[in-house]
Amino acid sequence: MRNKLMKSLRHSQMSLVLAILDLVWITAAFAAAILLQRHSFVDTAPLTGYASYLLILLPAGMAATFFIGLRPPRPQTFSRSDIVDVTLFALFLGGVGLLAHLLPLPLPKTSVATFVVFALSLAVLRVGARMALRDKADLLFKPVDTTKILGRDALGGDFPAASEAYRDHCILVTGAGGSIGSELCRQLLSLKPKRLVLLDHSELALYTVHRELQALDDRIDIRPALGSIGSPEFVEQVLTDNNIEVIFHAAAYKHLPMVENNILEGLRNNVLGTRVVAEAARNKGVERFILVSSDKAVRPTSVMGSSKRLAELVVQDLATRNNNTRFSMVRFGNVLGSSGSVLPLFEAQIRHGGPLTVTHPDVTRYFMTLSEAVHLVLMAGSLSRGGDVFVLDMGVPVSILSVAKNMIEGAGYRVKDAQNPNGDIEIRFTGLRPGEKMHEELLIGSDMLTTPHPKILRAQESYLSEIEMAGALQDLRRAIETRDEALAMDTLTKYVESTLPSDNRHIAG
């Protein structure tokens, strides 16, 4: 009840603000029309006699907005329906003024042209004001607080163990220019590492995050490394030159449709790139290696999800044959506000007047904040014993349709649907994309162990044998070298597990 009341209040506040602006525009447009007809922009005396027209036009404007349904143009959006409403609103008020002029009312007489000019001026003012307010819309009407859609209490508090694990260490973050990577860098700065090395293949992203971090703390040695994780020579040189002790591997292609349409390069980057960095970490005696994974790696139906699961298997394989580097993985759901997240898409669609696009009415996803994701990654590294898969207790999955509705109403608009055809913004269903799941999962098996943190669990899951892993990587390299997508898909089908009881694999735990 409280949420409904707040949404109703936000909508009423927006309507009131826009209605007041309409009163100003009506007054200004009528004044301009009279001045133009009188050919005087200095002498305002003619206006005083015609002010009585406003006693008719202003209530008519309110009636048009609240009763006839001609909505004020919204500062955040402007669609074809808004153009129709603006035109009808101007014509309606011009007609009301002309009718008052023609009827035997005690009003000063003017010409028909006055009301034509009035209607044109009003339309121009309404559209012009909208254009002027476009860049200020986010200041006028704040979007919904995204943390309220989690469906659970946010993960809070500090992790003292994480601080001790990274203080005065030389740390490498791959994919440092991305959403997760850049936030990792920000949080790591507060833990006072000795050196922070930023690795990314995007020159612009690397320049941007390096400049930002230097402004945050110029006392820490922050070094940019421009290059690809697919180059063993480059990665090993970065580790050697910077005496790297801890690696956070966040570099990956994560956009599902993009990887689905670029299978071989997605696999090259996500699987073989992970192998390069993890193997270099082992060879150089790095203390800790933490892989940033995804809930899409659980029983994947997409190439992206399969590539992330195979990357997990690569790390687990190295963990079983290594005594020096502690390898671990952290798996979580969608990150609010990250690149590729549905929330920035919805916000942009709201700004443009909709529609909001949802794949299916029943689709659900796990959500967490960017800060939570980074806390989990940092904690995972500090808790790792080797080969661990850490999972956050993320509560219940959230309906994407409910997210869309909440964001529309939180921004002060009404959902337009069959039950409310006069609403503001429509939600359109586009159908599940290739490889997309209706519901995501976080665990492959049912076995979980607790950790010192009540919201972080350690999963016990299957992994490939050394021989199986070697065969998978050999097949994958051959598929990429020969540009054979069919072989690549066969390799994923063969080696990315389905957790059936007959699955003859080892259990990590």
Catalytic site positions: 296
Q: How many CA atoms lie within 13 A of 82 on its CB side?
A: 18
With residue 127 as reference, give the H or E element that holds it: helix 112-133
Of 430, 382, 347, 425, the C-alpha closest to 158 is 382
With residue 506 as reference, give the H or E element that holds it: strand 506-507
Distance separating alpha carbons of residues 498 and 300, to the nearest angstrom: 9
Alpha carbon of 126 to those of 35, 212, 469: distances in Å? 19, 40, 65
Distance separating alpha carbons of residues 5 and 162, to the nearest angstrom: 42
Of 254, 263, 292, 299, the C-alpha closest to 439 is 299
Token pair, residue 456, equals 């972080």
DSSP 367-432: EE-HHHHHHHHHHHHHH--SSEEEEE---S-EEHHHHHHHHHHHTT--EESSS-TT-SEEEEE--P
Distance separating alpha carbons of residues 46 and 31, to the nearest angstrom: 9
Distance separating alpha carbons of residues 45 and 47, to the nearest angstrom: 5
In angstroms, how far is CA 29 from the centroid of its own chain? Answer: 41
| Three-class DSSP category at 499 | coil
> Which residues on adjacent β-strands are paired with residue 224?
198
Distance separating alpha carbons of residues 262 and 483, to the nearest angstrom: 11
| Three-class DSSP category at 45 | helix
Helix ranges (DSSP H) in 134-272: 137-140, 160-166, 179-190, 203-216, 232-241, 256-260, 263-267
Distance separating alpha carbons of residues 285 and 307, to the nearest angstrom: 26
Token pair, residue 100, equals 């008052």
Residue 149 CB neighbour total at 10 angstroms: 18
Of 250, 265, 368, the C-alpha closest to 307 is 265
- The one-letter code for the residue type at 100 is A
| Three-state secondary structure of 158-185 | CCHHHHHHHCCCEEEEECCCCHHHHHHH
Token pair, residue 494, equals 């063969």
